[in-house]
Amino acid sequence: MRTKHGPEYHIQKLLIDFLEARGWLVERLIGNAFQVGVPDLYCYHPKWGSRWIDVKNPGHYSFTKAQKIKWPKWEHYGVGIWIITSADQAGYDLLFKPPNWRQFVKKSWKIPTQQDIDALLSEM
- Asked if 42 contacts 29 with a C-beta cutoff of 8 angstroms, the reply is yes
Rg over alpha carbons for the chain, rounded to the nearest Å, is 15
Whether 1 maps to a domain, the answer reads no
Whether 2 maps to a domain, the answer reads no
Is 0.85 topped by the overall pTM?
Answer: no
Tens-digit pLDDT profile for residues 2-26: 557 777 889 999 999 999 999 999 9
Helix (H, G, I), strand (E, B) or coil at 26: strand
Tens-digit pLDDT profile for residues 58-95: 878 888 889 988 999 999 999 999 999 999 999 999 99
What is the span of the domain harbouring residue 111?
A: 7-123
Q: Could you give phi then psi for residue 101, rounded to 5 degrees? A: -60, -30
Whether 76 maps to a domain, the answer reads yes
Domain total of the chain? 1
Whether 98 maps to a domain, the answer reads yes
Looking at residue 93, which CATH number applies to its domain? 3.40.1350.10
Whether 28 maps to a domain, the answer reads yes
- C-alpha to C-alpha distance for 69 and 85, rounded to whole angstroms: 22
Q: Could you give phi then psi for residue 56, rounded to 5 degrees? A: -125, 150
